[in-house]
Each structure stands twice: as C-alpha cells, then as structure tokens.
Amino acid sequence: MDLLESRIVIVGAGQAGARAAEALRAAGHRGAVTLIGDEPHPPYERPQLSKKMLLDQQADATFIRTTQEWSDLGVTLRTGTRAVTIDLNQRKLALSGGDDIGFDRLLIATGTRPRRLAALEGTKVAVHYLRGIDDALTLRPQLIEGHRVALVGGGVIGLEVAAAALSRGCEVTIIERADDLLPQIGSPSLIRFAHDMFVKRGAAILCKAELSGQQTHSLTLADGRVVDADVIVVGIGSEPAGELALQIGLAGVQVFVFDARGATECDHVVAAGDVAEQWSAIPRFAWLRLENWANAQNQAIATARAMAGLDSRYEAPSWFWSDQFDANIQVVGHPACANEIIRGDAGSARFSAISVRDGEVVGAVSVNNAKDMAMVRRLVASRKKVDPAALANPAFDLKRALV
C-alpha cells in the first residue's frame, strides 16, 4: 500500500496528536486521518491551563483549531472517546462508545495523567489536580482573595499555580518533599531565585516536608506541623497514560521510541509526545520522557513527517519555559548533572546559568534572558567543547562558542 494512502489513527487529541495530524496533511498524506481524544474539547495546548486561565477569571480556552477547521483539513475528530482495546493483528481499535475503527498505522500520543497522592484520597475536601480545561475551570473560582491555598509539590506546575494564586490575593503555602523547590531541574541558581521570588510575594515554603493526612480545613505533615487550607492543589508529577502500550506488549505502560522517527518495537505503531520514552544522547545516553510543550509539538511533527515517507528526525534537546509573575524562566537540556557558570547577577531579575560537564554545555537556565537562551540551545544541541571562563563573561558573545 502507498504510505500516503494508508489509514492513520492517532490516539490522543492533545497537542502532540493535533500537531501530528496537521503535519500529515502538510506532508501530503491523502489517506484517512482520525484523531481520538478522551476530553470533550477540541485539541488545545496545555500551558494556558496554569497561566492565563488561572490568572484571568474571564479567560476562555484557546483551541488549536475549531471542529469545523479539523473537518476542512480532512481530519475526523472524535472527542469524548477512549480507545479501550487494540487488536494489532487485525489492526483494529475498540472504542468506548462500543464501535470499532480500523487502521493501517497507529500513532500513540496519549500523554500523561497527574500522579495522585494517596494520603488525600477519599477525603471530604476537594483536592485539585491540573491536567485539562475542566480542571482549570473548576480550580479558578477557588482562587479568590483571602483563600488559603496549599500547593503540594514545588515543581514547575506547582509554582505556576502558586504564582497565579498569589497574584489573585490568596495566602499560599508550598509543600515540597525534596530539599528544595524545582528538584527536577536541579539548578542551584534557579532554586535560590525561585525561593526568594515566592517568599517576597508572601508565600510560605516548606521543603523536606512529608504529608501524612488531611483534616477538614488543614493538612498535617509528618513532623506534626499543620497547614491551614481552604484550597488544596496537588502537583507531584505525572505518569504515562500507556494502557494501549501494555496491551500490545511494549514495556510496562511505557512506550519506548527507539529511533528519531518515533518508531516503537511494534510494526505499524509509532509514538510521540509526553507518553514516549525517548533515547537521548544529551546529557548522557538514557531513556527519558520529555514532558514539555516543545517536545510534544516538534517530536510529533517529525514523527508524522516520517510516517508520510519523508526523511524526518527529531533529535533536539529538551527545552521549556515557565512564566511566574514577571519572570520568564527558560530551561534547556539537563542542568542538574553539571557545574553551573553564571552570566550576570544571579540575585537579579535577569541572568543565565550555563551547566558544563567535561567542557561540554549540557544544560542551562535563563531568567528574563531570552537572547542568551537562544544561543545556549544551539550550544547544547551542537555538543561543542567550550571555554568555561569565556562563558562566565557576560560580555562574551555566545555566538563565538558555536564557531
């Protein structure tokens, strides 16, 4: 069968699935494309959920395309539908509505779901997790002046929600079990900056704090401390929504992508986005799940183009951003695994911290310094050896390190 005439089903109508569907048509694919999503909404990008939709009481969700525009593109969009079982031999999916759909090739882009906190399950007070539009719309009315908000988890999502809550006049306590905020990033300079920024805005920060239980309007920590709370938000990471992967014999619920074209161990099945474990050479060879906007979009586009027969690969280093108050924070690569070189004043509202290991730039963070980040992203991707002393000089043009 001509690749461009094949029936393609994309399971997962988030950013990765949607961008893959668009890329298939842009690459000339003529066969049927069906996009299946479990939410009732058309595809959208998730960064808005913890940013504008919480900051602005009237903000509406922005969709990638309207339902009519998907139809005009020749993509069959099926929202509010789950793929329940898969028969790889017959190349058929059983859907939650009771019907089946056949495919020639399958793209798994099911993303992730928030990791639940067992200590808070079954309590009378609502505990908020932030994954979809409906979650944001449920949480938003609770962020009102004077409400006591407890954020369990001091990672990126937790801090974005905390920033929105503080901006709307809430009293905020951030509870993090690790030694510091932003443990997944592991940049000492960014940790200090974020800690100071939130304390100055009035947040209470409790690190090395284990949660043991919940009362009607409070949380109890393992050391006996009590945190009063009218609103509880949990952001302690996510887990892959990989049930389909388990059914077809991929490892556990993970979907392992073993080349830069999105291929898996199963013929006719590819994967993209947050659900996919990718083999990464940066900063060291390892299996990684990259849960960020850029990877969800760009890996999905590259995978779709490869499905259309083009020589398309995705090998870019991880990169994401976070807006908190008036700080634009950007992170590339893996800053935790190397020594930091500071450009500028790390105590100010504008600086960069470049992570170097064995003379190679393997990661960086920037705060309100997009110019530096644009160059450092290229340095991380190039894997060139650099002079640390030159990098530490704010007057040094990072372009020179690329030569």
Could you report the per-residue pLDDT of 348-371, keeping only the tens digit for each? 899 999 999 888 899 999 999 999
Instruction: Count up the domains in the chain and report the number.
Output: 3
* pLDDT over 60 (residue 284): no
End-to-end alpha-carbon separation of the chain, Å?
Answer: 46
Which of 251, 272, 307 is at the close of a domain? 307
- The b-or-e profile of 155-170 (16+ CB within 10 A means b, else e) is bbbbbbbbbbbbebeb
Least confident window among 21-35, 240-254, 388-402: 240-254
Between 216 and 68, the higher pLDDT residue = 68
Interval 75-82 mean pLDDT:
97
pLDDT at 261: 74
227 and 282 share one domain: no
Q: Could you tell me the residue range of the domain that residue 226 belongs to?
A: 116-234
pLDDT at 215: 82
* Amino acid (1-letter code) at residue 188: P
- 295 within domain boundaries: yes
* pLDDT over 90 (residue 305): yes
Quote the longest CA-to-CA distance of the chain.
66
Instruction: Tell me the sheet residues that pair with 382.
Output: none
Is omega for the bond preceding 283 within 30 degrees of 0, making it cis?
Answer: yes
221 and 245 share one domain: no
The H-or-E segment that residue 238 falls in is strand 238-240
pLDDT at 253: 47
Distances (CA, A) of 83 to 35, 78, 163, 177, 321: 11, 11, 36, 36, 32
- Pick from 313, 310, 309, 311: nearest CA to 272: 313
Instruction: Classify 291 in phi/psi space as left (phi over 0), alpha (psi -120 to 50) or beta.
Output: beta
pLDDT at 216: 81
CA–CA gap between residue 161 and residue 168 (Å, rounded): 11
Which letter does DSSP use for residue 63 in this model?
B
- 338 within domain boundaries: yes
109 and 122 share one domain: no
Between 29 and 317, the higher pLDDT residue = 29
Q: Nearest 5 degrees, angle CA 342-CA 318-CA 256?
A: 145
Pair 240, 275: CB distance under 8 Å = yes
- 320 within domain boundaries: no
Portion of the chain with pLDDT greater than 90, in percent: 69
Interval 241-248 mean pLDDT:
76
- 277 within domain boundaries: yes
Token digits of residue 17: 């699935």
270 and 342 share one domain: no
CA–CA gap between residue 372 and residue 395 (Å, rounded): 11
Instruction: Tell me the sheet residues that pair with 367.
Output: 329, 351
> Three-state DSSP class for 174?
strand
Between 266 and 306, the higher pLDDT residue = 306
pLDDT at 313: 82
Model confidence band, residue 1 (pLDDT cutoffs 50, 70, 90): low
167 and 227 share one domain: yes
